[in-house]
Amino acid sequence: MENKINKKNLAEFLSIPLIEATKIEMAILYLLGEANEKSKKIYKTIIYKFISFLELRATQKYANHFFMMDFVAWEWGSVPYSFMKYVDEYNNTFLYFDYKKTLDNKIIFSLKNNNDYKKYFNWDYFSEIDKKILIEITDFILEDNKTVKELSNIIHEKSRSWQFFWDKRKTKKQNKMNFYLDIKFDNEDEEEKKEIINFYEESCYKNDKY
């Protein structure tokens, strides 16, 4: 049954500015639009991988975050935890796309009324670096019809941070993580590295509800 009391928009649920929530939706809208043109179905686990790869790439490229999003380390890779809660627990809605359960009880994301996403998508929510990352990761997710397992294996291989936080987990249900171990330094001295890592970790989105 739909939970009427807890139903919120994404900005309210995550306690983030509306512009930031819209950026999240715009990125997912872009993925869904490109997937639709390739007749590819996008399940929720692909969305979670997509968000994780955006964050990983942003960390690697400029030691910063792509979204205001929190992550946990699970066996199959990093998961955007509060976003997952929004999808799984409260049956909330998104402005630019839909998600629903299939007959086999999986959750699939789709464009609203199979619309032309380019009418609604707006690049203004993204910096120039963001745009390059969004295009790169979208192409990466969709190329060669990668499965969730393949994407998980790539995260395992590419992200030192996931391995570190998964190894030190206290429970398999939740283990907060960030991607600081994946920052690529360019000959900075140790003090500069510490400052960059501290800034990155201090600027991580923090949601104490979960």
pTM: 0.91
| Residue 209, in any domain of the structure | no
Q: How far apart are CA 165 and CA 95, in angstroms?
A: 33
| Residue 4, in any domain of the structure | no
Q: What is the pLDDT of residue 4?
A: 46
DSSP letter for 119, please.
G
Q: With H, G, I as helix, E, B as strand and everything else as coil, classify residue 115.
A: coil
Instruction: Please list the pLDDT of the chain residue by residue as tens digits (210 residues).
Output: 344 446 788 999 999 999 999 999 999 999 999 999 888 999 999 999 999 999 999 999 999 999 999 999 988 899 999 999 999 876 788 989 999 888 888 899 999 876 788 889 999 999 999 999 999 999 999 998 888 899 999 999 989 999 999 988 866 666 889 999 999 988 778 888 999 999 999 999 987 766
Count the domains in the chain. 1
| Residue 104, in any domain of the structure | yes
CB 46 within 8 Å of CB 182: no
Q: What is the CA radius of gyration of the chain?
A: 17
**Element housing 128 (H / E):** helix 128-142
Give the closest residue to 204 by CA, choosing from 188, 190, 183, 185.
183
| Residue 1, in any domain of the structure | no
| Residue 82, in any domain of the structure | yes
| Residue 3, in any domain of the structure | no
| Residue 119, in any domain of the structure | yes
Phi/psi-derived region of residue 144, left when phi > 0, alpha when psi is between -120 and 50, beta in every other case: left
Q: How far apart are CA 55 and CA 179, in angstroms?
A: 8
**Element housing 95 (H / E):** none
149-187: buried (b, 16+ CB within 10 Å) or exposed (e) per residue? eebbebbeeebebbeebbeebeeeeebebbbbebbeeee
Strand order in the sheet with 107-111: 42-43, 107-111, 97-101
| Residue 210, in any domain of the structure | no
Domain extent, residue 56, equals: 10-202
